Amino acid sequence: MDRLAFLLATGLARGLVIALFALSLVIIWRAARIVNFAQAAMAIVAVYVAFAVTQATGSFWLGLAAALVTGALVGAVVERWLIRLVPSGTPLPGMIVAIGLVMILQSAISIIFGPKHRPMAAPFSEQPFTVGGVAVLSPYDLFILLVALGVVAALGLLFNGTTLGLQMRASAMAPEVSRLLGVRVPRMITLGWMLSSGVAALAVLLLVPTELGLNAHSADILFVHAFTVAVLGGLDSPSGALVGGIVVGILISLVTGFLGAGLAPIAVLVLLTVVLLVRPGGIFAAKEARTA
């Protein structure tokens, strides 16, 4: 019973990081109708910058700010000078270019920094609190929880409560009509990329202290899990990403705890297969609204 409670709590914290990364995939899908396969590699670049800033200043918070800013900049650069040049009639060229970008970024990082894992310290203790003799969330897990909920709330406010969000939604759904209404659609798409890769960088930054350390491939598994979550929740649904992330996080935690770590990736893929068979649009996907 104690073990179950502990596994559930760990799964929740791990799931929130996955949810945050999945949310970044949802943002870019909503802003530009593209699945960005380079999301993890781009985020790793930003986290290396954050790592350097934290090393130089000793402050985790400056590193966090650096990750957000660099993440957003990388997103803008990739959109403006790479993806915009790719023909956008079909999704395939964009995907291939993104996969190529992953290879270039990961090789470049490995060449510059080597293959070794660089440990990153969490800003809060990772020792779990015990409640009634049962180990539950650590302070760092609580921090992740607050950050994830804060990001979800802020994004909800941006998309549904501001005119910028209105323009971003319109640009994604009806680019030509939006241009005819004076919306600067290319700018909105760049902003969507910046927002998305900023959130992705944040998710990876939160993940790294709980893992082995920072390496060119630190976020690969996170991307696979988050992609599962995005499909699970529907690429269009922020709340789907949040709930899906927690479900996958807890699934991984339970399978690892009770059946062994080797089975966890298989469990995630089984879940993905089942969802694709039963509800290919995702569990939380809205009914297809667009007919024209």
Partner 1 sequence: MTTPTETPASTTTRTMLAVDGLTVGYAGAPVIDGMRLEVPHGAVVALLGANGAGKTTLLRTISGLVPPRAGRIELDGQDLSALSVEDRVRQGLAQVPEGRSVVSELTVEENLHLGALWKIPGRAARRDAVAEVYETFEPLARRRRSMGHQLSGGERQMLALARALVARPRVLLLDEPSLGLAPRVVAQLFSILRDTAGRTGLTVLLAEQNVTSALSIADRGVVLGLGEIVADAPAAEIAADPALRHAYLGF
Is residue 90 close enough to count as binding partner 1 by CB under 8 A?
A: no
Is residue 290 close enough to count as binding partner 1 by CB under 8 A?
A: yes
- For residue 290, give the 3-state DSSP assignment: coil
Is residue 76 close enough to count as binding partner 1 by CB under 8 A?
A: no
Helices (H), ranges, 162-283: 163-173, 175-180, 185-207, 220-233, 238-259, 264-278
Could you tell me which residues come within 8 angstroms of residue 176 by beta carbon, excluding any fewer than 6 positions away? none
Selected range binding partner 1 among 57-65, 76-84, 128-136, 159-167, rule: CB under 8 A? 159-167
Is residue 87 close enough to count as binding partner 1 by CB under 8 A?
A: no
Nearest to 164 by CA among 141, 147, 189, 139: 189
Question: Which pair of tokens denotes residue 222?
Answer: 């996170």
Question: Which pair of tokens denotes residue 193?
Answer: 């990329």
Question: Shortest Cβ distance from residue 160 to partner 1 (Å)?
Answer: 10
Nearer to partner 1, 183 or 203 (CB): 183
Is residue 174 close enough to count as binding partner 1 by CB under 8 A?
A: yes
Q: How many residues bind partner 1 (CB under 8 A)?
A: 21
Question: Shortest Cβ distance from residue 171 to partner 1 (Å)?
Answer: 10
Q: Where is 74: in which H helix or E strand?
A: helix 60-81
Q: How far apart are CA 258 and CA 38, in angstroms?
A: 33
Nearer to partner 1, 90 or 163 (CB): 163
Question: Shortest Cβ distance from residue 178 to partner 1 (Å)?
Answer: 7
Among 169, 211, 239, 257, indicate the residue that binds partner 1 (CB under 8 A). 169
CA 147-148-151 angle, to 5 degrees, is 85
Residue numbers at the binding site for partner 1 (CB under 8 A): 163, 166-167, 169-170, 173-174, 176-185, 289-292
